Amino acid sequence: MPLTTTRRAFAAALALLATLPAAAQDVPTLYFSAIPDNDETKLQERFGKVADYLEATLGVPVEYVPVKDYAASVTAFRNDQIQLAWFGGLSGVQARRLVPGSHAIAQGAEDQSFVTYFIANTGTPLTEPEDGSFPEGLEGLSFTFGSQGSTSGRLMPEFHLRRITGEDPRDFFSDVGFSGDHGQTLRLVASGAYDVGALNYTVYEQAVTEGAPEVETAKVIWRTPPYPDYNWTIRGDVDERWGDGFAERVQEAIIAIDDPALLDSFPRTGFIAAEDALYDAIEDTAQQLDLID
């Protein structure tokens, strides 16, 4: 049966609709964020590129949403302002506890065995022991953690400090601060504002690679034992919005990232599958330190 004018117009409209971007077809936007572990300009640049990649790969609008601190990233996830997040080990645990059904889907290859660096200003006599033991001479110096909610900048350093010294860091050091992010920890120690600090090892190694002046006056004096850390966590209700299997598609898209420019911005050599059970030790440690109930 030949198409009537009305039917031809309707068919043409459908064909045109199929060529429009996803956003024009009222497909919900996938919002994601990341813990602010470095300065905002760097985060916006690196995660804006990730948003472009995910949008092209998933075929849905994707938007990066910056947050001001670690707690804000967890709150945004709980309030459904974001549905996907690049969390640290602790913030991921906190978010998943607040949103039943959410789960970790991927981690960086390096996140299987993450470490924290303790760094000291070169004006101190501190050096890194060749046998990897905890250095002597820290007691009574000033010390800065990173963010209060950071796994590598606060949770694990405090855990090991208590384990090794048998004291609360606030009693062991003359002054204890929280810098807010790893890059700031490096700057504060390098400037001498604090004698010692703890930070994400990748931030320090990236500074070395880039020839940042801070590494000239801030040296590594200790490396913690390895632990699991950063992870991509997704809400459990995404399949209801974007279709069955969407969470799995997001996982596959993240694991498939092979563009060196994208990977270097994390920095990671690649991503692998993850599951919640990998972070049980992080949850247990946070409970021991009364950081979560």
Q: What is the pLDDT of residues 98-111, one digit of tens each?
A: 999 999 999 999 99
Inform me whether the pLDDT recorded for 231 exceeds 70. yes
DSSP string, 186-207: HHHHHHTSSSEEEEEHHHHHHH
Closest CA to 31 of 262, 259, 274, 241: 241
Q: How far is CA 220 from CA 128, 189, 199, 250, in A?
A: 7, 11, 10, 37
- Residue 127 corresponds to which tokens in the numbers above? 């050096």
Q: Could you give the CA distance from residue 246 to residue 143 in angstroms, rounded to a whole number?
A: 44
Q: Among residues 223, 242, 263, which one ends one of the domains?
A: 223
Residues 134, 64, single domain; the answer is: no
Residues 76, 59, single domain; the answer is: yes
Position 38 confidence tier, pLDDT thresholds 50, 70, 90: low
What's the total number of domains in the chain? 2
Residues 215, 191, single domain; the answer is: yes
Closest CA to 261 of 73, 85, 52: 52
% of the chain at pLDDT higher than 70 = 89
| Predicted local confidence at residue 39, as pLDDT | 61
Q: Is residue 125 part of a domain?
A: yes
Inform me whether the pLDDT recorded for 117 exceeds 70. yes
Residues 125, 213, single domain; the answer is: yes
Inform me whether the pLDDT recorded for 13 exceeds 70. no
Classify residue 78 by burial, with Cβ atoms within 10 Å: 0-12, 13-18, 19+. Answer: middle
Position 40 confidence tier, pLDDT thresholds 50, 70, 90: low
Residues 236, 281, single domain; the answer is: yes
Name 205's Cβ contacts closer than 8 Å, sequence gap at least 6.
none
120 phi and psi, to 5 degrees?
-135, 150
Could you read off the pLDDT of 148-159 as tens digits, one per residue? Answer: 989 999 999 999
Strand partners, 31: 63
* Angle made by CA atoms 240, 283, 293, in degrees to the nearest 5: 90
Q: Among residues 194, 223, 252, which one ends one of the domains?
A: 223
| Predicted local confidence at residue 289, as pLDDT | 86
Classified as helix, coil or strand, 272 is strand
| Predicted local confidence at residue 106, as pLDDT | 97
| Predicted local confidence at residue 182, as pLDDT | 93
Q: Among residues 188, 223, 258, which one ends one of the domains?
A: 223
Could you read off the pLDDT of 193-211 as tens digits, one per residue? Answer: 999 999 999 999 999 999 9
Classified as helix, coil or strand, 192 is coil
Residue numbers of the domain that contains 55: 27-111+228-288
Q: Could you give the CA distance from residue 275 to residue 120 in angstroms, rounded to a whole number?
A: 35
Q: Is residue 237 part of a domain?
A: yes
Radius of gyration of the CA atoms of the chain, in A:
22
Give the mean pLDDT of 263-292: 90
Q: Could you give the CA distance from residue 270 to residue 81 in angstroms, rounded to a whole number?
A: 27
Q: Is residue 16 part of a domain?
A: no
Q: How many CA atoms lie within 13 A of 204 on its CB side?
A: 28
| Predicted local confidence at residue 266, as pLDDT | 81
Q: Over the chain, what is the mean pLDDT?
A: 90
| Predicted local confidence at residue 41, as pLDDT | 67
**151 secondary structure, DSSP code:** I
Q: What is the CATH number of the domain that holds 197?
A: 3.40.190.10
Name 183's Cβ contacts closer than 8 Å, sequence gap at least 6.
38, 39, 42, 203
Name 198's Cβ contacts closer than 8 Å, sequence gap at least 6.
116, 117, 118, 119, 143, 144, 145, 146, 152, 153, 154, 157, 185
Q: H or E stretch including 32?
A: strand 30-34
Prediction pTM value: 0.78
Could you read off the pLDDT of 173-183 as tens digits, one per residue? Answer: 999 999 999 99
Residues 121, 218, single domain; the answer is: yes
Q: Is residue 267 part of a domain?
A: yes
197 close to 186: Cβ distance less than 8 angstroms = yes
